[in-house]
């Protein structure tokens, strides 16, 4: 009786040992076995792959951290893609609406036709010429712009005026072709000196200035030098008509023509304050019957 329980216990021990050894052998890893996709991937391996040269910066697909049987799959955290950086070499393309807004308006109508205008050429005229014409109007000078005169390389006026009066009541006959500066200075002389001298000597105003030469393409007599007339810069005055009807010719007065001699001497002398050249009767034969006045630039006025 005693042997049967001991034999049973020994047999149970042997069986238990055999079962345990079989279980350990079955669970041991098999050499060179292909584990497959069940091999766990660690965080270290992920970091190394991302930092390797040439690795893609795009986010990788979600990676299982353990086998499906050992632990549940963890969902990856949402990732936001960085804003694309525009290339500096490429300019941004405006939207169609912006292009429509920036486009210039289209105006439909008849084509503009430019016509020559001789009465007002302010658009192509130098500022000094424009200002000169304004001063002529303030002086009461009647004039009109005429086309440019270019008779030769030595003769012409770029911006000529045709003057028909040297004041509001002082006519200039016939109308003279001059440059604007000469017309202005002639008007100032007549209004400030000649007209007052006539009122003092003859108790009458001046009605008309009679000129015998304005613009003319010619040389100075007996010379190769071009005259100031060739630039519209000179005026020859042959007679002065007063409002009382008297006409005073510019000539050398007679011995007993005291009032006429005094008048002509005065207006001739006062003209030297306005012009560069003043010539008249007694200077030479060519000027025996008129006053020649011009605006030639001189260091000293030629007053004869």
pLDDT at residue 160, as a whole number: 98
Residue range 140-156: mean pLDDT, rounded = 96
Residue 103 resides in a domain: no
For residue 256, CA distances in Å to 75, 129, 252, 253, 267 come to: 134, 46, 12, 8, 19
Whether residue 189 has pLDDT greater than 90 = yes
Domain range for 204: 123-303
Give the integer Cα–Cα distance in Å for 48 and 195.
111
Q: Residue 4 — very low, low, confident or very high, per pLDDT cuts 50/70/90?
A: low
In angstroms and rounded to an integer, the radius of gyration of the C-alpha atoms of the chain is 57
Judge whether 38 lies within some domain.
no
Counting Cβ atoms within 10 Å, is residue 302 exposed (0-12), middle (13-18) or buried (19+)?
A: middle
Residue 275 falls within a domain, yes or no?
A: yes
Q: What is the CATH number of the domain that holds 299?
A: 3.30.1380
Q: Which of 119-128, 143-152, 241-250 has the lowest mean pLDDT?
A: 119-128
Residue 82 lies in a domain: no
In a domain, 95, yes or no: no
Residue 142: count other Cβ atoms within 10 Å of its Cβ.
17
Identify the top-confidence range among 15-19, 27-31, 221-225. Answer: 221-225
Per cent of the chain over pLDDT 90 is 54
* Residues 60-77 pLDDT 10s: 444 344 344 444 444 444
Higher pLDDT pick, 185 / 110: 185
Q: Decide: 260 and 253 in contact? Cβ < 8 Å.
A: yes
- Alpha carbons 157 and 160: distance in angstroms, whole number: 5
Residue 72 lies in a domain: no
Domains contained in the chain, number = 1
- Is residue 7 in some structural domain? no
Confidence label for 245 from pLDDT (cuts 50, 70 and 90): very high
Q: What is the mean pLDDT of the chain?
A: 77
Least-confidence region, from 11-20, 62-71, 204-213, 285-294: 62-71
Interatomic CA distance for residues 50 and 98, integer angstroms: 43
What confidence score (pLDDT) does residue 256 get?
Answer: 86
Q: Please give the average per-residue pLDDT across 249-260, as a whole number.
A: 91
Of the two residues 201 and 104, the one the predictor is more confident about is: 201
Q: Is the pLDDT of residue 243 over 80?
A: yes
State the pTM of this model. Answer: 0.60
- pLDDT of amino acid 8: 66
Q: What is the pLDDT of residues 261-275, one digit of tens each?
A: 999 999 999 999 999
Do the beta carbons of residue 159 and residue 130 sit within 8 Å?
Answer: no
Confidence of residue 296 (pLDDT cuts 50, 70, 90): very high
- Average pLDDT rounded to a whole number, residues 96-113: 50
Q: Within a domain: residue 88?
A: no
Which stretch of 9-23, 167-181, 271-285 has the lowest confidence by average pLDDT? 9-23
Could you give the angle at the alpha carbon of 268 between the alpha carbons of 262 and 274, nearest 5°? 145
Whether the predicted pLDDT of 85 surpasses 70? no
pLDDT, residue 25, reads 43
Average pLDDT over residues 177-182: 98
Closest CA to 192 of 174, 162, 214, 166: 166
Instruction: Specify the DSSP class assigned to residue 61.
Output: P
């Amino acid at each position: 009786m005693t042997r049967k329980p001991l034999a049973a216990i020994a047999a149970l021990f042997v069986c238990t040992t055999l079962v345990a050894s079989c279980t350990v052998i079955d669970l041991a890893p098999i050499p060179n076995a292909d584990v497959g996709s069940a091999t766990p991937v660690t965080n270290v391996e992920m970091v190394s792959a991302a930092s390797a040269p040439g690795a893609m910066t795009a986010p990788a697909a979600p990676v299982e951290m353990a086998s499906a049987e050992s632990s549940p799959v963890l969902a990856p955290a949402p990732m936001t893609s960085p804003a694309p950086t525009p290339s500096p070499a490429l300019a941004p393309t405006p939207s169609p609406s912006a292009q429509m807004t920036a486009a210039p308006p289209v105006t439909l109508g008849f084509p503009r036709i430019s016509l020559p205008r001789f009465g007002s050429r302010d658009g192509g005229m130098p500022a000094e010429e424009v200002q000169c014409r304004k001063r002529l109007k303030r002086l009461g000078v009647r004039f009109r712009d005429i086309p440019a005169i270019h008779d030769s390389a030595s003769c012409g006026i770029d911006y000529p005026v045709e003057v028909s009066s040297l004041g509001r009541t002082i006519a200039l006959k016939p109308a003279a072709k001059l440059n604007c500066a000469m017309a202005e200075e002639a008007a100032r002389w007549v209004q400030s000196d000649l007209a007052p001298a006539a009122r003092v000597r003859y108790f009458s105003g001046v009605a008309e200035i009679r000129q015998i030469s304005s613009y003319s393409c010619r040389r100075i007599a007996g010379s190769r030098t071009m005259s100031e007339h060739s630039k519209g810069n000179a005026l020859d005055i042959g007679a002065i008509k007063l409002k009382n009807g008297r006409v005073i010719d510019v000539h050398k007065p007679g011995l007993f023509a005291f009032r006429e001699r005094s008048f002509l001497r005065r207006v001739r002398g006062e003209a030297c304050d306005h012009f560069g050249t003043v010539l008249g009767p007694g200077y030479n034969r060519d000027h025996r019957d008129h006053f020649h006045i011009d605006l030639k630039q001189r260091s000293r006025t030629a007053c004869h």
